[in-house]
Amino acid sequence: MAKTPASGMTAGVLLQEVVQERIQCRANLLKKNAVDDASCELCRQSNEDCNHIIFTCPFAVQVWAHLGVDTTGGSVASLWTVPRPATVPPKHYDSFLLLTCWHTWKHRNEIVFNGAPPSLRRLLTACSQDAMLWSCRWPQSERMIADAWCRVFSQM
């Protein structure tokens, strides 16, 4: 799985922490008194908890909308119940969701820690690149699934 150079965190570890709402979002940091307030550094409109980063921050909303995924009422605790759009094959749909969460989280970190500008295009390009890498671990017969994902990621 892909790794972040900074923390060595893998997408699989992220998934566990996201679903258990344990990632180092500002709401969790506030509980540990590591920050003074929990507002989201991307939108400044809401407290930044796990659900906010992955689903309800306006940037995340834009990402999912672009992919045609309806996240209405979605929560990280029930990530696997997010309905699948017809453009995404059923097989490996959980990995598709994970990949999108992973890059939404990484993109948030690039903005918060490196001062990078938000960019839907950069996030989607990163998703496409990882889709091709992840699919290398699948049987040859399933690799066209990654091609379908890349079409979803690249439609602008």
CB 44 → Zn ion: shortest distance, Å? 7
Q: What is the chain's alpha carbon radius of gyration, rounded to the nearest angstrom?
A: 15
Q: Tell me, what DSSP letter sits at residue 137?
A: T
Cβ distance to Zn ion smaller for residue 57 or 97: 57
Angle at 59 between CA 17 and CA 110, to 5 degrees: 65
CB 88 → Zn ion: shortest distance, Å? 25
CB 156 within 8 A of CB 150: no
Cβ distance to Zn ion smaller for residue 29 or 43: 43
CB 145 → Zn ion: shortest distance, Å? 31
Cβ distance to Zn ion smaller for residue 40 or 63: 40
CB 149 → Zn ion: shortest distance, Å? 25
Cβ distance to Zn ion smaller for residue 57 or 98: 57
| Residues lying near Zn ion in the complex (CB under 5 A) | 40, 42-43, 57
Cα–Cα nearest to 52, from 104, 87, 122: 104
CB 70 within 8 A of CB 62: no
